[in-house]
Each structure stands twice: as structure tokens, then as C-alpha cells.
Amino acid sequence: MGARMIPAAPARRESTDREHYLAARVLNALLREDYAGISARVTRDKDGVAIVLASGRRVGLAAGSPFQDFAAAPYERLRLAEVLETLRAVAHPADAEGVAAFERECREALAALEAHHRRRGEVARRLRGRHGLIRYESLAAAVDHPLYPTARCRLGIRAADLPAYAPEFAPEFAMRWAAVPRERVTLSRPELPAWWPAPGAVGLPSDLARTHVLFPVHPLAGHLVAALPGLVPAPEPYLVVRPTLSTRTVEVGERVHLKVPLPASTLGLRNRRSIKPGTLRDGALAESLLREILAREPGLRVTLAGEQTYGHAGHEYLGWLVRDLPEGEIVPVAALLAPLPGEDGRLVLHEVAERHFGGDPEALLRDYLAALLEWNVALFVRYGVALEAHQQNLALLFGDGPMRLLVKDDDGLLASPRRLRAAGIGVPGFGDERMLTDDPYALADVFVTITLHLAAMAVAHGALPGSAAALVRRALIAALEPYGDDPAARLLRARTLEAARLTGKSMVVAGTLVAKERTGARDINKFYGTTGPNYLRSA
């Protein structure tokens, strides 16, 4: 028999569009945060501005507005490997562990992007059967974070498990449960929600209800909870749920969300998605503080989600929060920039504008920015409060009357005890002392990096890049105008409208690349090591 012909090995598959996209985002983040002085590799000559990679390749840079001076030029086709090679070349030896973790983030983010691309038809079919808030939550999950480059990665969740549990795939799954001895349980309210299962519903003896309390357990955390002593894992699942944008929070019903611990990290290795018991109480106290402020400010168009029902057993994987949502149509701000499946070029923004603003997306943005900045400026100037409410924690609420802003997840706020007392408001007894400060510059940093960059400019720029800066500037000027020469208003103007440059967060540096012992960050979500151009002045 003649020799069997063996086909030649296929040529190495060229990098996909998704790899080019991710590699550029990673390089841009390293440049924006100037990790390990990587900006020293930037050159300027008659051919323009460029960065020289470790391979010797010269990559063209272009104006990187709105958040950084320069970013990879749109025509460049970067490979992830060459960007990571450059990262290793500049990295400090003490950061070897963080660099390795970030490389893993990059690989897993690319795998998640590829998986979502492969399943886009299946996802579109699922979304056709979804309506209301959960449809928008799934659409929002397919829009990347404006600044953190590997947001699609959930360290700790296998790529094979993402289609079953990540919101961008629009799945649904059944919740697991475990019985916890009552003496170990802390409940914020004596009664559990009416939809909570009894032991018999999850395959446990009915009389267990006298001595134990059922806790919801995310299926991905089941093995961790089962290994904890003294618990009784339920043999049967109960309650079909759908993941929301945050992944660890799931939809139980149209107006009810359930937040449970997840053995994963998002937006950085150190951003664990477990639930420290103290954050549940702190979040409830923060909500109560904001409700007290709103009672004094009836003109502010803000509604708070109800986050007073929770339980924990003193362990980061034994806790839960029930979030109650108000009546009305709810559209997450993070969903506004999401493409509508099968509608080329149209965004959720356009769909919502057609229903509520006569088809004018700019009118929607103007109304949103007005409500957002009036609320946050009032908090800052009158009460010394700054919210860590980015686009994931905000939603548009439509019902009777004008559009309102729906705010949730309040446990990251920063408040000034001195300013609260001066306003006649008691200082909450937060367990996390990092939530209190009398430093006005720390409060301003939160306002700039969260309210201004993420909640305002990122949304406006993604929708209307040509006019976004002017829209945000006008809305901020209008929100500050009633406060005249109030010292807090003057400070906020100086740090925003008048500043030469705007504060930025070093999210990749603090979240993964550099250990807290080296950054000195008390809170990795409030670590500022960079600045960017002031897009408000250029407007």
C-alpha cells in the first residue's frame, strides 16, 4: 500500500478580533496607570507618538481621551502575548506573583470573550424570551468595564462553567441550600421571606426547622460550604434563578434579587466576591443614612433599593442579602450602551429613548446626568457623603412622573462624621472604619473616579462621544450652581471643572499587580496613583 498522504499542518491561526481588542485594552490600562514606569517606553518623533514593546515593535499611539493621554492607535493589531511580554519586562521582581495572576486574568478574559462569541446565536434566542430588568441585566453583562481591561474574567470560575452561571450567557439555574445551626445565625429580621423553602422542599427532614436555618448556596460555592463543619447540605436544589450583572446576585422574581457569596474574583485578584458578614450590616446602615438624607431633600429624583433583609453565620460563604426593588420599569445604567441583538448599530439607549424621550437619546442622557449629578453634588456639599455607585449600581426608574435614579449596593460609600453632625444627622456605627473620613480630598476622589468618570462620562462618551464632555460639564455646572461659594462646592469645582488634570484609580495595580504591602492601599477600590486629562476643561 502506498504511503498515506498527511495533510500539511494548518498555518497558525491569526489572532482574532477579540484578541486584538483585549490586547489593546490591557496595554491601555498599563499606560493609563503607568505600571512600573512603562510610559518610559513611549517615544515622540516626526512619525508621531508610539510605545516600543519588549519585542522591539513600535506600536502607534493616539490621543486617548477621555481618561488617558495616549492609547493604542485604532489601526494597530496587537497580540496579547507581546503585551504580556512587555509587562514582564517592566515589572518589579516583587510583583512576580501579581504579574502571573494578571496574565491568567488575560487568558481567562480572552476565553470568556471567545465563548460568548461562539454562543451569540444561542444567547440571542434566550434573550428573545426575556423581558424587563433581567433582559437588560444580561445585555449589560456583554458590555465591558470602561477601564478594567479583563472584566470578563471571573478568577475562580472555570471557563466551562461560565455559560451556565455568567449573566452575559443569559442562563438560569437552581439554587442549592444548606441548613445552618440556629445558634450560629444572625438575621436582620425575625421572619424569612415568604418564598424561602422549608427543609422538606430541599430534601431535608421537616423537624430540622426547629434547630437550623436554611441558607442559599450558589452551586459554584457548594463544595466549599459542604466542607464547613456542623452544616447539613440539602440534597435537592430549590428555586430557579437567573444571574444579574454582578454574577453573584440573582433574580428570584421581577422585584426581588438575592445576593449570595461566590468563590471568585472580579475586577482584580483581590476583589473577592464572597460576602464578609460585616458588609451586610454596613450596607443596611448606609441605606438608612441615605434615606434620612432623602427625607430632607424631596426635590432629588432618587429611589433606594431595599437592602435591610439579610442573614449570615459569621463566615464569608455563609451569608445572603435580599434586595427589594420598587415598582416601575427599571433599566440598569450599565445596559444603556449594550447593542440590541439583531439590530445593527442600535443600543438599549435608543430603545429606551423611543419609549420615554420621543426617540431622542441625547434628551435621555441629559435627564440622567441631571438626576445623577444633582444627587451626588447634594450629598457631597451638604452632607459630606460620596457614593461608590458606578454604572452597575445605578438604574433608570420609570413610572408616574419624571424619571428617577434607582441606587443600590451602598456599602462602599464614604462619609464625613463632622459634616454629618453639622447637618444634624447621626453618624452610622459602621463596622468598617474605612467608610468614615473627614478628609474632603478623599471624598472628592470618590466623586471624581466613580460619579464623574464611571457613572457620567463613560456612559455619555460611549453613547455620544462628540458631545459627551459638553453634556457632562453643563450638568455638573448646573448641579453646583445652587451652592454658590459654599466651601465644599468650591472644592468640588476645583477638583473637577477647574483642575488641570483629573484623579484616576489604579485599578489593575491595586487589584492584581502589586501587593497591598507595596501599594500601601487601605482599600484597593480607593487607590489613586494616576491622573488623566480634564475632559471637562476641553469641553
For residue 13, what pLDDT is reported?
47
> With 80 as the cut, is the pLDDT of residue 349 above it?
yes
For residue 15, what pLDDT is reported?
53
How far apart are alpha carbons 350 and 436 in whole angstroms? 40
DSSP letters along 429-451, please? --SSGGGB---HHHHHHHIIIII
How far apart are alpha carbons 21 and 152 in whole angstroms? 13
Average pLDDT for 520-525: 84
For residue 522, what pLDDT is reported?
82
pLDDT tens-place string over residues 109-127 = 999 999 999 999 999 999 9
pLDDT tens-place string over residues 393-416 = 999 999 999 999 999 999 999 999
Q: Are 86 and 23 in contact (CB under 8 A)?
A: no
Cell numbers for 454: 464611571
Q: Are 426 and 35 in contact (CB under 8 A)?
A: no
Establish whether the linkage from the previous residue to 10 is cis, with ω within 30° of 0: no
> With 80 as the cut, is the pLDDT of residue 429 above it?
yes
Q: Are 243 and 167 in contact (CB under 8 A)?
A: yes
Q: Which residues contact 426 (CB under 8 A, 6 or more apart)?
A: 420
For residue 3, what pLDDT is reported?
36
**Other Cβ atoms within 10 Å of 467 Cβ, number:** 14
Burial of 316 (0-12, 13-18, 19+ CB in 10 A): middle
Question: At CB < 8 A and 24+ separation, what contacts does 219-223 make?
Answer: 219/165, 219/173, 219/174, 219/175, 219/176, 220/157, 220/161, 220/165, 220/262, 220/263, 220/264, 221/260, 221/261, 221/262, 221/263, 221/317, 222/176
pLDDT tens-place string over residues 353-377 = 999 999 999 999 999 999 999 999 9
pLDDT tens-place string over residues 132-173 = 999 999 999 999 999 999 999 999 999 899 999 999 999 999
How far apart are alpha carbons 374 and 63 in whole angstroms? 31
pLDDT tens-place string over residues 469-496 = 999 999 999 999 999 999 999 999 999 9
Q: What's the pTM?
A: 0.95
What is the percent of the chain where pLDDT is above 90?
Answer: 92
Q: Identify the residue with better confidence: 164 or 1.
A: 164
Q: Which residues contact 501 (CB under 8 A, 6 or more apart)?
A: 531, 532, 533, 534
Element (H, E) at 502: strand 501-504
> With 60 as the cut, is the pLDDT of residue 511 above it?
yes
Q: Are 205 and 236 in contact (CB under 8 A)?
A: no
Nearest CA-CA partner of 300 in 381, 245, 370, 231: 370
DSSP letters along 305-346, please? PEEEEEEEEEETTEEEEEEE--SSEEEEGGGTTPBPTTSTT-
For residue 389, what pLDDT is reported?
93
Residue carrying C-alpha cell 448646573: 478
How far apart are alpha carbons 535 and 539 in whole angstroms? 6
For residue 74, what pLDDT is reported?
95
How far apart are alpha carbons 3 and 63 in whole angstroms? 59
Residue carrying C-alpha cell 473577592: 272
Cell numbers for 270: 483581590
pLDDT tier for residue 538 given thresholds of 50, 70 and 90: confident
Average pLDDT for 499-510: 96
The secondary structure of 240-298, three-state, reads EEEECCCCCEEEEECCEEEECCCCCECCCCCCECCCCHHHHHHHHHHHHHHHHHHHHCC
For residue 256, what pLDDT is reported?
98
Residue ranges and CATH numbers for the domains of the chain are 15-81 (no CATH), 330-538 (1.10.510.40)
Mean pLDDT of the chain: 94
> With 60 as the cut, is the pLDDT of residue 14 above it?
no
Cell numbers for 253: 422574581
The single-letter DSSP state of residue 146 is: S
- In this structure, which amino acid lies at residue 278? G
Q: Are 516 and 94 in contact (CB under 8 A)?
A: no
Burial 241-269 (b: 16+ CB within 10 A, else e): bbbbbbbbbbbbeebbbbbbbbbbbbbbb
How far apart are alpha carbons 158 and 154 in whole angstroms? 8
